[in-house]
Amino acid sequence: MPEPVKTNAPPSPTPAAPAASAAPAAPPPATPVASPAPSPAPSGGAPPGASGPGDDSPFAVLDAKIKEFDAPRPTTTGKAEPTKPSGAPQPPQAPTKGPKELRAELDRLNGELGAKTRAYNELETKIAEFEKRGKDTTVLTDRLAAMEKALADKESEIRTIKQEASPEFKEKWDKPFDQAAEYAKSVITQLTVEDSSGTPRQARWDDFVELYNMPYNKAFAVAREKFGDAAQMVINHMTELHRLQHNRNNALQEERTKAMERSKKEEADRIGETERINTAWKTVNEDLSTKVEGYKDTPEDKELSDLRQQGYQIFDSETKTLQQRIVKNAHIRQRVAAYGPNQLQIKRLTTKVAELTKELEKYTAVPDANKRTGGQTAPAAGGDWEAEARKALAS
């Protein structure tokens, strides 16, 4: 590249076109462009080179983008682009192809075909992996459904156990059974039974428990054999205790069914409450974004709309660690507190701009072209200027 011609004169704001006979001049300065967008922030969220307590701010990238808007914007003028230097490289002309060039072109195309074939095979492999993952996902989904059912059954069982241990259940079902058992015990232990050798002895509570756990047809036979004439009374006590136990088991089963129904109802109520909260949240946000001046943007201002959408995304995103949650909540608190001062500052600046604009209008008013500096009106264009001149000299 030829060296630029050095002169002692200050550089001209507009590059001059090079002369035809002179050496090629240095290329003109490029039109200024907007500063490039900052590099993506590291995982911590801070822009490159930043330091201090805001390094982990989730708003770091958004703040960097706002600062970018402070950079001077490129201005376009109606001037034509400067003529390119005569020494500017021209696009190469395609050479005439011979057998050697055709062979090289064929090799290049074969290379591209091989690369695309490899990419296609890799894509097929990935598709197969994804399909396999889909099958694995189906298995995992089935396992998850089974686990959810088992968990629901466990929750129902826990509810039943809690209900069984409740004072109300014990008072209604356990207490009558215990009282009937105590009364039967007091009666049975007063009777006499014969053991297997025919020797009489005092009846024990275990003799009755043994009968209670037998099927009815066998229990009747054993009772007559052991208790003799008192067998019917023993069987009556046994039947009453079985009746009370049956009623208690039915009540417990009914409570288990009700527990499952209550669990489903509570889950449905919880889902419904969540949906109502989400609907109310969406409605309130839409209402605020249309009625509060500071919460809405001019539709045609895309920069403002984009910044607001990015802010929504930062607020709605979930934090992965406790540290990130703490930093995010702290920044949100500071930004909420800064809203009022920022609005006041904007109002002050808007008022100041209006005052300065009004003051500037005094100095930029267009003067009357027909008004002379001495207060006299200039003669109309196209009049007899010689007559006017003589009149002026005579006066």
Per-residue model confidence as pLDDT tens digits over 251-267: 888 877 777 777 778 88
Residues 260 and 333 in one domain: no
3-class DSSP assignment, residue 14 = coil
Q: So what's the pLDDT on residue 137?
A: 75
Residues 252 and 307 in one domain: no
* pLDDT at residue 63 greater than cutoff 90: no
Residues 374/380, Cβ–Cβ less than 8 Å: no
* pLDDT at residue 4 greater than cutoff 50: no
Residues 225 and 270 in one domain: yes
Residues 181/205, Cβ–Cβ less than 8 Å: no
Asked whether residue 87 is assigned to any structural domain, the reply reads no
Q: At what angle do helices 216-227 and 205-212 cross, to 10 degrees?
A: 150
Residues 182 and 251 in one domain: yes
Asked whether residue 18 is assigned to any structural domain, the reply reads no
CA dihedral in degrees (217, 220, 226, 230; nearest 10)? Answer: 180
Which residues, in sequence order, are CB contacts of 299 under 8 Å at separation 6+? 305
Q: So what's the pLDDT on residue 134?
A: 67
**323 lies in which domain range?**
303-352
* Domain finish residue from 275, 293, 311: 293
Q: Give burial (CB, 10 Å; 0-12/13-18/19+) of 234.
A: buried
Residues 276 and 230 in one domain: yes
- The number of distinct structural domains making up the chain is 3
Structure tokens at 137: 């996902």
Residues 152 and 238 in one domain: no
Alpha helices of the chain — where are they, by DSSP H?
Answer: 60-68, 99-164, 167-169, 175-188, 205-212, 216-227, 231-291, 302-316, 322-363, 385-394
Q: How far apart are CA 26 and CA 15, in angstroms?
A: 10
Q: So what's the pLDDT on residue 271?
A: 87
- The mean pLDDT value for 170-182 works out to 92
Residues 210 and 107 in one domain: no
Q: How far apart are CA 315 and CA 308, in angstroms?
A: 11
- The mean pLDDT value for 216-234 works out to 90
* pLDDT at residue 286 greater than cutoff 50: yes
Residues 124 and 176 in one domain: no
* Domain finish residue from 121, 142, 165: 165
Q: So what's the pLDDT on residue 322?
A: 92
- The mean pLDDT value for 90-99 works out to 50
Residues 206/188, Cβ–Cβ less than 8 Å: no
Out of 92-101, 152-161, 334-343, least confident range: 92-101
Q: So what's the pLDDT on residue 115?
A: 83
Asked whether residue 21 is assigned to any structural domain, the reply reads no
Asked whether residue 310 is assigned to any structural domain, the reply reads yes
- The mean pLDDT value for 215-239 works out to 91
A 10 A CB-CB count for 355 gives: 10
Q: What is the DSSP letter of 230?
A: G
Q: So what's the pLDDT on residue 373?
A: 52
Residues 245 and 346 in one domain: no
Grade residue 380 by pLDDT with cuts at 50, 70 and 90: low
Asked whether residue 8 is assigned to any structural domain, the reply reads no
Tell me the pLDDT of the chain averaged across its residues.
74
Q: How far apart are CA 319 and CA 309, in angstroms?
A: 18
- The mean pLDDT value for 108-123 works out to 82
Grade residue 372 by pLDDT with cuts at 50, 70 and 90: low
Residues 216 and 269 in one domain: yes
Q: So what's the pLDDT on residue 72?
A: 52
Structure tokens at 238: 């046994």
Structure tokens at 56: 């982990």
Q: So what's the pLDDT on residue 240?
A: 95
Residues 159 and 173 in one domain: no
Grade residue 179 by pLDDT with cuts at 50, 70 and 90: very high
Residues 104 and 193 in one domain: no
Q: How far apart are CA 219 and CA 230, in angstroms?
A: 14
* Domain finish residue from 165, 186, 201: 165
* pLDDT at residue 92 greater than cutoff 70: no
Asked whether residue 318 is assigned to any structural domain, the reply reads yes
Asked whether residue 104 is assigned to any structural domain, the reply reads yes
Out of 73-87, 192-206, 218-232, 298-312, least confident range: 73-87
Q: How far apart are CA 359 and CA 381, in angstroms?
A: 34
* pLDDT at residue 238 greater than cutoff 90: yes
Percent of the chain exceeding pLDDT 90 equals 24
* pLDDT at residue 48 greater than cutoff 80: no
Residues 58/324, Cβ–Cβ less than 8 Å: yes
Asked whether residue 245 is assigned to any structural domain, the reply reads yes
Structure tokens at 264: 């489903």
Nearest residue to 331 via CA among 65, 54, 64: 54
pTM of the model: 0.38
